[in-house]
């Protein structure tokens, strides 16, 4: 796999990465493109030469047709040959551009999903999606621009023309050669400015995109506050400032074209002057003049194309760099080299002196130690912000502890593959968000070989079967974006069914704080009861009714365990007693 390093994301390095991926995966096709393009370029250089011969024969007053006949089929062959080879190289380049775009697109996306939650916390998903999208298309265009669009053919043609004219008439060769450095300079200076404009443009586009994503994602809130027009106005302001900057960049393009045309015109006049002078002196035939003029025409096309492509490629590389930035993002939680596959839990899970701060700042857990024995149900209770959910996400290894370790049958979970750990654990978050897929797919999400019978059985245990049957297409009903077509309780029950189906070694349930319908409450209680003894359970409880029968209740406060025991034992503990009374009296979640 090609390594992408964060400090190597400048223009040339990105081009190198793209060409490297092209060459390493499609070496022979790539060489084929170069070969076919050289053939097309060579043939293109021949056409003015044949034209010159025909004109000179005509002007010499040749009347014998046989002298012309053989030149015509050769002209046809050369002309068509150049065009066909050109098409072939274009077609292969299109294929390669698609493949390389896909390679980097999927690679960045794969890396994106692998990156730890601490990274995701700080990056908006909508922004990333559109970045990968735009950068992916940019990679396609870079390859199409560099190797398609006849550019290689044109470059070969230019090379052959220069060699030919320098051997025939060195002065003409010089007239052809002179615009090259000038073109290069103009292109370099202007393309740098265009690239800078592009950076600004990217930022403005991201900002506009974010605004729209934010508003469309919160359509209910927007509507409930009657803010439709304001949201459109905000987006319009941001989009317009993007378009204004876009116009600025276009003006730079125009300036570039003006410079090019000027250089081109001067060079044409120089060649004409040379031709007229040499003709009068009798050192150049009319045929040769036509030939040189045709060569000049041919030599300008790659130059114009090159400047256009160079500037465009600079823009595109800027855009593509967004994707490489993601691919280069270090993954501090990546599996270690000899990571072990976690076996089914045999003894239990231990939090051993675990200390954890969110992003190095918020002190969420302080020197926390406890064990979850196999088959037992452990409940965490405590005030909001005490650190309960943090315990759950650390067990899932969404984050790593700053100090201490979490042991799975004595194995530090840092030393296990993330995939095996997550396969052994089912997690029911507080607010279960579903995929915009069918109910069946949502339940079967975490299970490799789910059968219909097993899905239905799990749904029945989670008290979800009856309401599922009442939806328009039953198990095939699609739940809407983030599951909006279902109520919070229904979503939670589907999440419970998903967890029950997966038969995990450890079930982590973050009970909802909001008021649950009685059906969902009993679904939670039944599943806890059903799994008791079969599966190790860690329950973040907001209702004491759910956990009265837990084997162990841990009272968490300010990142520490302040009391532990069964419900009966804990009733003697003042903090627990306070929580109990609070709930008992107000009938509110803790």
Sites of contact with ligand ADP (CB under 6 A): 121, 358, 362, 364, 382, 384-390
Burial of 287 (C-beta count, 10 Å sphere; 0-12/13-18/19+): buried
Q: List the beta bridge partners of residue 509.
A: 428, 539
Q: Give the Cβ contact number of residue 27 at 10 Å.
A: 10
Question: Shortest approach of ligand ADP to residue 590 CB, angstroms?
Answer: 10
Name, in order, each residue with C-beta under 8 angstroms of 21's C-beta and a sequence gap of 6 or more: 2, 100, 103, 104
Nearer to ligand ADP, 457 or 560 (CB): 560
Nearer to ligand ADP, 382 or 483 (CB): 382
Give one word for 61, left, alpha or beta, with left for phi > 0 and alpha for psi -120 to 50: left
Nearer to ligand ADP, 523 or 590 (CB): 590
Nearer to ligand ADP, 32 or 589 (CB): 589
Nearer to ligand ADP, 386 or 494 (CB): 386
397, 516, 393, 492: which is closest to 442 by C-alpha?
492
Structure tokens at 248: 């600025």
Q: Is 521 helix (H, G, I), strand (E, B) or coil?
A: helix
Question: Shortest approach of ligand ADP to residue 388 CB, angstroms?
Answer: 3
Question: Shortest approach of ligand ADP to residue 562 CB, angstroms?
Answer: 13
Nearer to ligand ADP, 200 or 357 (CB): 357
Question: Shortest approach of ligand ADP to residue 118 CB, angstroms?
Answer: 8
Q: List the beta bridge partners of residue 539.
A: 379, 509
Question: Shortest approach of ligand ADP to residue 361 CB, angstroms?
Answer: 7
Q: Is 86 helix (H, G, I), strand (E, B) or coil?
A: helix
Question: Shortest approach of ligand ADP to residue 510 CB, angstroms?
Answer: 7
Nearer to ligand ADP, 116 or 348 (CB): 116
Nearer to ligand ADP, 283 or 384 (CB): 384
Question: Shortest approach of ligand ADP to residue 197 CB, angstroms?
Answer: 36
Cβ-contact 535, 506 below 8 angstroms: yes
Cβ-contact 490, 512 below 8 angstroms: no
Question: Shortest approach of ligand ADP to residue 579 CB, angstroms?
Answer: 12
Taking the C-alpha atoms of residue 573 and residue 381, their distance in angstroms, rounded to an integer, is: 13
Give one word for 481, left, alpha or beta, with left for phi > 0 and alpha for psi -120 to 50: beta
Cβ-contact 302, 154 below 8 angstroms: yes
Q: Give the Cβ contact number of residue 180 at 10 Å.
A: 15
Nearer to ligand ADP, 172 or 550 (CB): 550
Order of strands across the sheet with 552-557? 425-428, 506-510, 536-540, 377-381, 552-557, 560-565
Question: Shortest approach of ligand ADP to residue 399 CB, angstroms?
Answer: 9
Structure tokens at 101: 């775009």
Cβ-contact 246, 209 below 8 angstroms: no
Taking the C-alpha atoms of residue 367 and residue 360, their distance in angstroms, rounded to an integer, is: 15
Nearer to ligand ADP, 63 or 359 (CB): 359
Question: Shortest approach of ligand ADP to residue 367 CB, angstroms?
Answer: 15
């Amino acid at each position: 796999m090609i390594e992408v390093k964060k400090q190597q994301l400048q223009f040339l390095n990105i081009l190198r990465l793209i060409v490297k991926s092209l060459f390493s995966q499609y070496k022979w096709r790539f060489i084929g493109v170069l070969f076919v393009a050289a053939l097309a370029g060579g043939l293109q250089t021949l056409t003015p030469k044949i034209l010159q011969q025909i004109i000179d024969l005509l002007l010499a007053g040749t009347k014998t047709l046989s002298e012309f006949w053989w030149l015509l089929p050769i002209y046809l062959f050369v002309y068509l040959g150049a065009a066909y080879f050109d098409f072939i190289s274009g077609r292969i380049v299109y294929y390669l551009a698609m493949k390389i775009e896909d390679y980097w697109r999927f690679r960045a996306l794969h890396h994106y999903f692998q990156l730890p939650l601490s990274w995701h916390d700080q990056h908006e998903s909508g922004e990333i999606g559109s970045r990968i999208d735009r950068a992916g298309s940019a990679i396609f265009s870079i390859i199409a621009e560099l190797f398609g669009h006849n550019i290689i053919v044109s470059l070969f043609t230019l090379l052959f023309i220069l060699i030919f004219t320098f051997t025939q008439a060195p002065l003409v060769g010089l007239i052809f050669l002179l615009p090259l450095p000038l073109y290069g300079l103009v292109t370099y200076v202007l393309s740098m400015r265009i690239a800078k404009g592009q950076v600004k443009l990217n930022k403005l586009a991201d900002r506009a995109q974010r605004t729209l994503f934010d508003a469309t994602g919160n359509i209910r809130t927007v509507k409930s506050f009657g803010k439709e027009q304001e949201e459109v106005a905000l987006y319009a302001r941001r989009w317009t400032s993007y378009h204004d900057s876009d116009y600025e960049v276009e003006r730079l393009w125009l300036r570039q074209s003006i410079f090019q045309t000027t250089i081109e015109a001067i060079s044409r006049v120089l060649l004409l002057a040379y031709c007229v002078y040499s003709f009068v002196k009798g050192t150049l035939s009319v045929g040769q003049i036509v030939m040189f003029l045709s060569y000049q025409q041919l030599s300008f096309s790659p130059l114009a194309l090159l400047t256009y492509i160079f500037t465009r490629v600079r823009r595109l590389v800027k855009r593509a760099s967004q994707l490489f930035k993601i691919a280069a993002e270090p993954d501090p939680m990546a599996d270690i080299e000899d990571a072990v596959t976690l076996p089914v839990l045999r003894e239990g899970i231990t939090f051993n002196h675990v200390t954890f701060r969110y992003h190095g700042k918020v002190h969420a857990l302080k020197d926390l130690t406890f064990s979850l024995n196999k088959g037992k149900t452990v409940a965490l209770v405590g005030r909001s912000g005490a650190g309960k959910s943090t315990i759950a996400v650390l067990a899932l290894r969404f984050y790593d502890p700053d100090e201490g370790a979490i042991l799975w049958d004595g194995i530090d979970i840092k030393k296990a593959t993330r995939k095996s750990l997550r396969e052994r654990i089912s997690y029911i978050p507080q607010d279960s968000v579903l995929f915009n897929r069918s109910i069946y797919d949502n339940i079967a999400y975490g299970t490799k070989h789910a059968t219909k019978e097993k899905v239905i059985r799990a749904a029945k245990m989670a008290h979800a079967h009856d309401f599922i049957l009442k939806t328009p297409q039953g198990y095939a009903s699609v739940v809407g974006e983030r599951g909006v077509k279902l109520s919070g309780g229904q979503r939670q029950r589907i999440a419970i069914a998903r967890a029950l189906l997966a038969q995990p070694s450890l079930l982590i349930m973050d009970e909802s704080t909001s008021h649950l319908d009685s059906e969902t409450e009993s679904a939670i209680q039944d599943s806890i009861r059903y799994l008791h003894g079969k599966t190790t359970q860690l329950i973040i409880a907001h209702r004491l009714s759910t956990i009265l029968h837990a084997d162990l209740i841990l009272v968490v406060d300010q990142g520490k365990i302040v009391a532990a025991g069964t419900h009966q034992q804990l009733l003697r503990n003042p903090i627990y007693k306070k929580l109990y009374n609070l709930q008992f009296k107000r009938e509110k979640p803790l």
